[in-house]
């Protein structure tokens, strides 16, 4: 049976010297930013894939980036050091803050506060404008790996390396709920407000969908989705598709409601990545998905319905 989607590799972006771990978009639908083990932070344009613009070079690896749309600034998480803020208008460093001796795995901005997931289990909270630490929250000795905002619950979901998802109240920074979600590290979380579904992916290679707005929460779908760890989960702009990326070198497209597998993107069929795929970004262009890999390259995929 033919796939309901046509996938075409539109471009390959090269220039990074090591594994690529971080992606984020900008206000321009044709632009995105990448970084990774080489510490290079690069701005790319999908219309001109041969020419990336170096925005910054930091001394340590970068696993986390966050674009601040209101100010057109970029937050860079430098492992074992802290956070840097760059103005994308002037391409200059404007602020830096030393916050940790651990890895920085994720950065989330909510309600003028910056939340940073770190390798020592702490979630550091900063005042956004001043870039000053206000709280250090630790609910596990294992790494805090990923963060996602759930506005309907006024909380943040945090995925940990102990397999738990913990729901952090934005009112008082207390844990309002703990979910023993996976048998191993939770590497990826994604929430879709349209459906109220929280998706989680883990080192255990399972993809789960949670009816998180119900109490008690209910994992109504649990899929052994990949051969190895799931590193990233994103949804298409219309929220009809979920894409997952894995250490098994594949990207998979799923129906967002049923988690029915619709398409596998890999090296053999689609000239995909040769090694682990670490991050995905569905751009503001609804047909464009970007993937980042250990093979030091980025790929731009055009995904269209097979009419």
pLDDT score recorded for residue 26: 96
pLDDT score recorded for residue 2: 64
Whole-number Cα distances in Å, 34 to 75, 79, 101, 244: 12, 15, 23, 18
* Distance (Å, whole) CA 95 – CA 110: 19
pLDDT tens string for the chain (307 positions)? 567 878 999 999 999 999 999 999 999 989 999 999 999 999 999 999 999 999 999 999 999 999 999 999 999 999 999 999 999 999 999 999 999 999 999 999 999 999 999 999 999 999 999 999 999 999 999 999 999 999 999 999 999 999 999 999 999 999 999 999 999 999 999 999 988 999 999 999 999 999 988 766 666 799 999 999 999 999 999 899 999 999 999 999 999 989 999 999 999 999 999 999 999 999 888 899 999 999 999 999 999 887 5
Superfamily of domain 5-305: YVTN repeat-like/Quinoprotein amine dehydrogenase (2.130.10.10)
């Amino acid at each position: 049976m033919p796939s309901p989607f046509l996938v075409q590799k539109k471009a390959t972006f090269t220039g990074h010297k090591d594994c690529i771990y971080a992606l984020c978009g900008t206000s321009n639908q044709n632009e995105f930013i990448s970084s990774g083990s080489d510490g290079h932070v690069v701005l790319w344009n999908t219309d001109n894939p041969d020419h990336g613009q170096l925005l910054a070079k930091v001394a340590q690896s970068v696993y986390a980036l966050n674009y601040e749309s209101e100010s057109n600034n970029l937050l860079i998480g430098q492992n074992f050091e802290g956070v840097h803020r760059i103005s994308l208008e002037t391409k200059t460093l404007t602020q830096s803050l030393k916050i940790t001796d651990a890895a920085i795995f994720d950065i989330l901005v909510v309600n003028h506060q910056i939340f940073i997931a770190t390798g020592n289990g702490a979630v550091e909270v900063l005042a956004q404008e001043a870039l000053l630490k206000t709280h250090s929250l630790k609910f596990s000795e294992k790494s805090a790996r990923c963060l996602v905002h759930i506005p309907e619950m006024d909380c943040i979901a945090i995925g940990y390396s102990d397999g738990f998802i913990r729901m952090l109240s934005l009112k008082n920074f207390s844990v309002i709920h703990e979910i023993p979600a996976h048998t191993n590290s939770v590497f990826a979380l994604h929430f879709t407000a349209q459906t109220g579904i929280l998706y989680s992916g883990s080192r255990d290679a399972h993809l789960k969908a949670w009816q998180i707005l119900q109490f008690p929460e209910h994992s109504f779908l649990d899929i052994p989705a990949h051969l190895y760890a799931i590193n990233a989960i994103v949804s298409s702009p219309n929220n009809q598709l979920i894409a997952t990326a894995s250490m098994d070198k594949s990207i998979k497209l799923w129906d967002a409601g049923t988690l029915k597998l619709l398409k596998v993107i890999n090296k053999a069929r689609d000239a995909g990545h040769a090694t682990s795929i670490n991050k995905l970004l569905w751009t503001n262009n609804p047909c464009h998905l970007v993937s980042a890999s250990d093979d030091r390259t980025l790929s731009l995929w055009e995904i269209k319905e097979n009419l």
